[in-house]
Structure 1
Amino acid sequence: MGGEYYSYGRGYRLFFGTDARSLVGRESGIIEEGINEHTGFVNDSPTSAMLKQFTDIFSNEIATDLILDATNVKLREVALTFDLPRKMLKNTFIQSAALSAVGRNLLFLYNAAGDIDPEATYSSGPTSTAFEHSSLPSTRSYGMNLKINF
């Protein structure tokens, strides 16, 4: 619950036009709120969406729309285990056996950030949890375990 992080990856996707949010203003431009410094009236002149994306992402100021909520509920691991009945192992040297199916990083039940895993951070350092930088999606894995006691 809670926490925030800055997503450089989303910024780059917006800038290069590979994020769905970059479609806004692509055809007709974006009209910024404020006063037009040349006319002194309310601004009604559109600017290039790409230029706006560039200044929002690569200026010296923090682009607040790239600060994302890290709240998420994730199904991180599921293990289903079947213990073989002792009757099956009665005339063998095996005392017990269990077969398990395991899945990790299966799905998000809720992810406030949408398409970015808040745990896929910039690095493993102490400040890394505050930055995401073009992270790859978390790896989903499936496996089987066999446990035999002699």
Structure 2
Amino acid sequence: MGDLDIVPERNQSTEFGADLRFMKDRIRLDYAYYKTRVKDQIFTVGTAYSSGLSGITRNAGDYEVFGHELLVSADIIRSNDFRWELILNWSTSEGKVLEIPDDIESIIFADSGFAGITSEIRAGDKMGNLYGYKWRYENGERYLDANGFPEIVLDERVKVGNAFPDFISSLGSNFKWKGIGFNFLLEYKEGGDLYDSGLRNSIRNGNPLSTLVRDEEVVLDGVMDDGSGGFTTNTTPALIDQDYYRNSNVYNRAAEILVQDASWVKLRNVSLTYDMDNKFTRDLKMEKLSLSVSASNILVWTPFDGFDPEGNQYSAGSNVYGFTGLSVPLSQSYSFGLNISF
């Protein structure tokens, strides 16, 4: 349902940059800074289910998005037979919630349900924040109870991460020697947190390596009560068994377990081409004969425990970031090509 008093969004954008060339165009530098202010942003905001509605589309606040983009490319070697070009790209993007209506505490774009992880924004937040439940801490140390187990604070959701990366950079290289070409693109994403929707069920079923310790007594890291109103290093062993991993008050609803760093280094693509220009092609009156082979998304190095962290559980335009799993992972692709021109 839509708000009868809804008004159009208003966007105000500013962008400036520089395009510089050096050494007869062998070194090229492009830089841009952008900033967009959106007033009266239109969102679907959740309502009480007793109203008979799941949400109402309305103006829901003011937001700001800003970032930098830098592109540096250079011809390391440039001659008649050989050319080697390097391309470096670096970019950032950040959003901030400037204001939301007084009658809205937060706007929830996605809710994981019982696991407690949400993609939501509150006044003053950065766009892309993730909220959830965390273990109890005392003086910066995880608190462990009389049985040696941690304790998840379920009173309220707190910020547990942000889906947007600190920056994304890439390094591309283009080689061309006579008729042979070799290109690759490496991409590096620093930061950005992800909640894997399938991880909690995997933990409960004992699938991940993190659940390998079973039916053992372990002294977990943290602090316990010292009996005098203070805290001391934990010495109480806890029985780590199936019930521990399945316990939602102790382990498998803790955001420290469910939300992971999704940084990556990825070989985005690599390709090899060969252009034939010899007596064979001339005899067949061919203008061009080119063979090529390429591969995409074939290697990724990441601390994320799961499928390729670039995958998203929700489609583009949903305003949901930081949720993955329960969807088909990104695939590798390989291609072979033959290009003939007469």
The two structures share one fold, judged by TM-score above 0.5: yes
The structure whose Rg is larger is: 2
SS of residue in 2 equivalent to 1:119? coil
- Which residue is 1:132 aligned to? 324
Q: Distance in 2 between matches of 1:48 and 1:149?
A: 68
Cα distance in structure 2, aligned partners of 1:9 and 1:69: 16
> 2:287 pairs with 77, 84, 95, which one?
95
Contact persistence 2:297–2:333 (CA under 8 A): yes
Larger helix fraction of residues: 1
Contact 2:197 2:325 (C-alpha < 8 Å) held by counterparts: yes
Distance 1:112 1:127 in 2: 25
Q: Residues 120 and 138 of structure 1 are in contact (CA less than 8 Å); yes or no, is this contact kept in structure 2?
A: yes
The one-letter code matched in structure 2 to 1:124 is S
Is the Cα–Cα contact under 8 Å of residues 8 and 132 in structure 1 kept in the other structure? Answer: yes
Structure 1 residue 9 displacement after superposition: 2.3
Could you say what secondary structure the match of 2:308 adopts? coil
Amino acid at match of 1:116: F
Paired letter, 1:119: E
Per the TM alignment, residue 96 of structure 1 is displaced from its structure 2 partner at its CA by 0.4
Give the SS at the match of 1:99: strand
* Alignment of 1:73 onto 2:262: no
Question: In the aligned structure 2, how far is the partner of 1:45 from the partner of 1:2?
Answer: 35
Alignment of 1:1-150 (within 5 A): 1-24=190-213, 26-28=214-216, 34=224, 44=236, 46-47=238-239, 49-54=241-246, 55=248, 56-57=251-252, 59=253, 62-108=254-300, 110-125=301-316, 126-150=318-342
CA distances 1:5-60 after superposition (whole Å, capped 9, x unpaired) = 11222222211111111112x1125666645xxxxxx7846355333323133x4x
Conserved? CA contact 2:270–2:296, under 8 Å: yes
Number of matched pairs? 139
Contact in 1 for aligned 2:215/2:240 (Cα 8 Å): no
TM-score, length basis structure 2: 0.36
* Unaligned runs of at least 5 residues, structure 1: 36-41
Tell me how far 1:114 sits from its aligned partner.
4.5
Identity of aligned residues (%): 27
Provide the C-alpha distance between the structure 2 equivalents of 1:19 and 1:105, rounded to a whole number of angstroms: 24
Which runs of 5 or more structure 2 residues have no equivalent in the other structure?
1-189, 226-233
Give the 3-state SS of the residue equivalent to 2:279 in structure 1: coil
